[in-house]
Amino acid sequence: MQRAAVKVAGGILALGLLLSGCLKRDSFPAEPAVTYKSFMQFGDSASLTISFTDGDGDVGLDASDNTAPFNTGSPYYYNLFVDYDDLQNGIWVPIVFAVPLQYRIPRITPTGQNKALEGEIAVALRPWPLIPQPAGTVDTIRLSVRMYDRALHESNSTVSPTFLITH
């Protein structure tokens, strides 16, 4: 009776190992990749959401990540960058703000052997709209987003569709 139980347990273990080898593992390049997902306006604020992948799972920074190259004043202190373009006379014009649209994504580190990451990041834009205009005017804008991982790999830049902002 014990022998049969050992054989069944051994068979189940072998089957489990065989099936676990068949599980699909996500495989992405080491450089992060971003794609536009959505944009929503809520009166005095807005939310921009992107999807991302990163093959080696080194996205985000902790508060303790404050030495070079992630120290204050470094170009890598922030790891998510949003650019704002305004359509003026048929030409897209980049708008440069006194305080750039830069963010620190919190550290996201997967557990286990497969370090590949795939997810979404939502950025709150406050106040909204970012550029005050006279009441009753309409502004046409687009946003683009890029990010860096901890290995300083830069992602592609994803561009949103065109938005009409009513002031």
Q: What is the 3-state secondary structure (H, E, C) of 65-80?
A: CCCCCCCCCCCCCCCE
Q: Dump pLDDT digits (tens) for 49-85.
A: 999 999 999 999 999 999 999 999 999 999 999 999 9
Three-state SS for 10? helix
Taking the complete model, does pTM exceed 0.85, yes or no? no
Determine the Cα–Cα distance for residues 12 and 16; give it in Å rounded to an integer: 6
Whether the Cβ atoms of residue 54 and residue 116 lie closer than 8 Å to each other: yes
Burial (0-12, 13-18, 19+ Cβ within 10 Å), 19: exposed
Strand bridging mode 46-54 / 80-88: unpaired
Q: Dump pLDDT digits (tens) for 119-128.
A: 999 999 988 8
Three-state SS for 123? strand
Enumerate domains of the chain plus CATH numbers: 26-166 (2.60.40)
Residue 138: its pLDDT value, please? Answer: 77
